[in-house]
Structure 1
């Protein structure tokens, strides 16, 4: 039996990209879907475009709301979702035509609770090439959380995953914060018994100027420090490997704030907080055999070659 799958798409001022996104969803090989377009107070033509698509396809629902940010839009979409399963797609991204079918199939074939695929990193005016699966693995929840926090196989991102919808009944995305995915994904994974990851690259993650990931550094970028504090507290009475993974993730976040926060006086407390976390965690994380090679090199440089770090850091691709 093909279960109804809800696709939640937060929409805000994406009139240039919305058509490509929505049309990739409507052409899915898995047809038993509902598409919830959440217009988050758009000031361009995005809201009207949502209504236009609703008139073309009965599977589309539209929610118009005051601007509240990505988390609020997702939360409103979740409330309206009627599917057994749910997935999130950002409105300036694009998915392969078998994105939903693939995630649903690997979930069903392995009696899983969450399914994960990989992204393709896409750039304007470049051809998008999706890739088939060459590797698949089934995780217990704890092992999947560890893998995610070490940032090895799959990302701490809400998109590119298919979940049982009822996992979100008691968990919401935090409103008004950046890195909202980091705040909830480990909690969602913690509800599951079995998580299936396939390395098929089926989610087209678009890198554009002006997107959240390319905007100028702000106070909101420091939200990750608060989120990581919550993460380490959550894991404080759990297994040693979960605690180590949480510490590694927190250390990576502190390193990122230390490197990216402008030295203009506005971020002095956040920089000091990051330095303190690095001081506490550095040696412990360095002794962890599970950390990525990139992390080990970064921490070695922090300890012994700090003056040249800015030069090297600029050349690092954070997505690899």
Structure 2
């Protein structure tokens, strides 16, 4: 048995893949295996996986048809031999001490999982110049919670746990027997498989180690991906909100954390407004309006909108959307979001570049 299985789903990331694999190979802790699951890539990603398999005996490669990252991770879990499981993404990379330092803590504290910090790297394209002239802004982010020793601790610290990227996989390491015992695996939902996975983790977890140092490099590229329309986007986000509400109810925590439940339902609405303003959305303005009207009829959504108003929403953009939707001014809300989608990246780039200059 190896100590840690690093599982990496791979799909059309030939430009970033070698850095990701190399960062996994070059860990200071070497008693690990790296499972690359090529999820039907149509570029050279599959070839790169095979090349690295020839270079390192610790690399295993699975080639499968394209079914999404969740089912790809399940294939990795099936053959994983590690005592612990770590999920990495192929377009990011790991600091060299990630496995060693987090494994030591989780071993010492005998926890079911560990949560740690990460670096958010924002690649800012400057007037569409070539990649070497791009600006990079790096921000370190750390968990707020303290060590969780039992379910009582978990209930008391749930807000802090939720506030630090609760659905991300790459800032956590899991004990494999914990996942197996509770039958925790990924679904075939197109969007949010990682969220549904971690909601099940939250349902069963009794002990969590916390490392307030940063190790993972999450690379966010403005303009690097096209905002694509997904027909089932709202249903996927609604399912995430519903599953979290169900788990909190089963744990007797739904009343205490109603704010979180309402936030999840609001997120489903917000992301659908973004979705309807995607560049390839085939719907007419009238069809979009009817779509939003049908969503606003749901009682959970009505409650979520009322809650955003009662909480004196501080974000002026969100407050504008909530006010328009509460007044049933759907076309106006869609136009506001359309402007946000079009201007969002330029605004974010300008703000981040300004912050970067002020900090130097």
TM-score, normalised via structure 1 length: 0.82
Indicate the SS of the match to 1:158.
Answer: coil
Q: 1:259 Cα deviation (Å)?
A: 5.0
Corresponding position: 1:221 with 2:220: no
Distance across 1 between alignment mates of 2:266 and 2:27: 39
Q: 1:39 Cα deviation (Å)?
A: 0.9
Asked if 1 retains the 8 angstrom alpha-carbon contact of 2:92 and 2:217, the reply is: yes
Asked if 1 retains the 8 angstrom alpha-carbon contact of 2:120 and 2:141, the reply is: no
Match of 1:163 in 2: 174
Match of 2:3 in 1: 4
Change (3 A) 1:148 1:180: farther
Q: How does 1:49-198 map to 2 (within 5 A)?
A: 49-124=48-123, 125-126=134-135, 137-139=146-148, 140-143=153-156, 145-149=158-162, 152-169=163-180, 170-198=183-211
Q: CA RMSD in A?
A: 3.3
Q: Which runs of 5+ in 2 are unaligned?
A: 124-133, 278-282, 326-331, 353-360
Q: Summarize deviations over 1:198-246 as a string: whole Å, max 9, x none.
A: 34232111224454xx532322432112222233233334222245422
Corresponding position: 1:43 with 2:42: yes
Distance across 2 between alignment mates of 1:29 and 1:47: 26
Match of 1:272 in 2: 293
Indicate the SS of the match to 1:61.
Answer: strand
Say which of 238, 246, 263 aligns to 2:261: 246
Indicate the SS of the match to 1:175.
Answer: coil
With a CA cutoff of 8 Å and minimum separation of 6, indicate the structure with the bigger relative contact order.
1
Indicate the SS of the match to 2:214.
Answer: strand
Q: Summarize deviations over 1:18-50 as a string: whole Å, max 9, x none.
A: 110011111111211110000111222211211
Indicate the SS of the match to 2:218.
Answer: strand
Indicate the SS of the match to 1:16.
Answer: helix
Q: 1:281 Cα deviation (Å)?
A: 2.1
Indicate the SS of the match to 1:154.
Answer: coil
Query: Which structure has the greater CA radius of gyration?
Result: 2
Q: 1:299 Cα deviation (Å)?
A: 5.6
Aligned residue-pair number: 309
Change (3 A) 1:132 1:156: closer
Indicate the SS of the match to 1:280.
Answer: helix
Distance across 2 between alignment mates of 1:12 and 1:278: 34
Match of 1:233 in 2: 246
